[in-house]
Structure 1
């Protein structure tokens, strides 16, 4: 059984969903990557789905989930991608690895859809860069 890695943010609608998509694409052989939220939104943000599809990653079937849904099985690693989730993360077993990478919330972007897409793409690209380095480090450790 692969180790389970949870990407956690507040609403589980943008940042954690994009990160889950990247990790499934980049490291499906290393761990079972899933995302969750402290206070999950009703749906994955449509602009997150759009910007990920632009680079060939489909997150359109993802759903927003609460972190409590993952306490039934061991969690190897939790990556928080927003400051609120990092500060509010529930107590985890001592063996659980934790990492925090802070990204602004693209859902807070204002303006036209084109202006919002610029912000979503920037956050997507920032998440990609960080996770590429993270996955490379995990591979090197093996």
Structure 2
């Protein structure tokens, strides 16, 4: 069986906050119409607890996610690569769609400060989904 769903990869440094929230939103809003991946150039040991709490507030559970190291294969096998401040560690492959989302890093922040980042990510995910369905 061949999978024709687009694959979206979210990349940030620690894969503990922004990219995990983005992956959680995309899984929630797209269901099984998109394959969702996330990774980090220098993954943390655990997900940011404030990001987990902020997502729980909107009914999305990301507690089962684990920060993962970005690999060339993961990036190469993705259709859309969305970076969130991973700098030069993000691989570039010809023919891939890239977006760089400038978002504040929630590392070390409390849930009150993470909520606006969560909501901005949701808005960007909704725009991404609308664009992916137009291209399908």
Q: Could you tell me the TM-score, scaled by structure 1's length? A: 0.85
Question: Contact conserved, 1:6 with 1:36, CA < 8 A, in 2?
Answer: yes
Residue in 2 that maps onto 1:65: 68
Structure 2: stretches of 5+ with no match in the other structure: none
Partner of 2:50: 47
Shift, 1:141, TM fit: 2.4
Q: RMSD value over aligned CA atoms?
A: 1.8
Paired position in structure 2 for 1:104:
104
Measured against aligned partners, the alpha-carbon deviations of 1:93-116 in whole angstroms (never above 9, x if no partner) come to x1221111110011143xxxxxx2
The TM-score, its normalising length taken from structure 2, stands at 0.89
Q: CA deviation at 1:87?
A: 3.8
CA–CA separation in structure 2 for the residues paired with 1:8 and 1:128: 16
- Match status 1:34 vs 2:37: yes
CA shift digits 1:96-138 (9 cap, x unpaired): 21111110011143xxxxxx21111010011111111111121
Return the alpha-carbon distance in structure 1 between the equivalents of residues 102 and 19 of structure 2: 11
**Structure 1 match to 2:82:** 79
Change (3 A) 1:18 1:89: same
Distance 1:71 1:34, change over 3 A: closer
Q: Does the residue aligned with 2:47 lie in a helix, a strand or coil?
A: coil
1:29-57 CA-partner distances (Å, limit 9, x unpaired): 43201110000000111111111011000
Task: Report the CA distance between 1:12 and its aligned residue.
Answer: 0.3
CA pair 69-50 structure 1, distance change in 2 beyond 3 A: farther
Structure 1: 4+ residue segments shifted above 4 A: none
Moved more, 6-15 or 99-108: 99-108
CA distance in 1, matches of 2:7, 2:125: 16
Give ranges in structure 1 of 5+ residues lacking alignment.
110-115
Residue of structure 1 equivalent to 2:89: 88
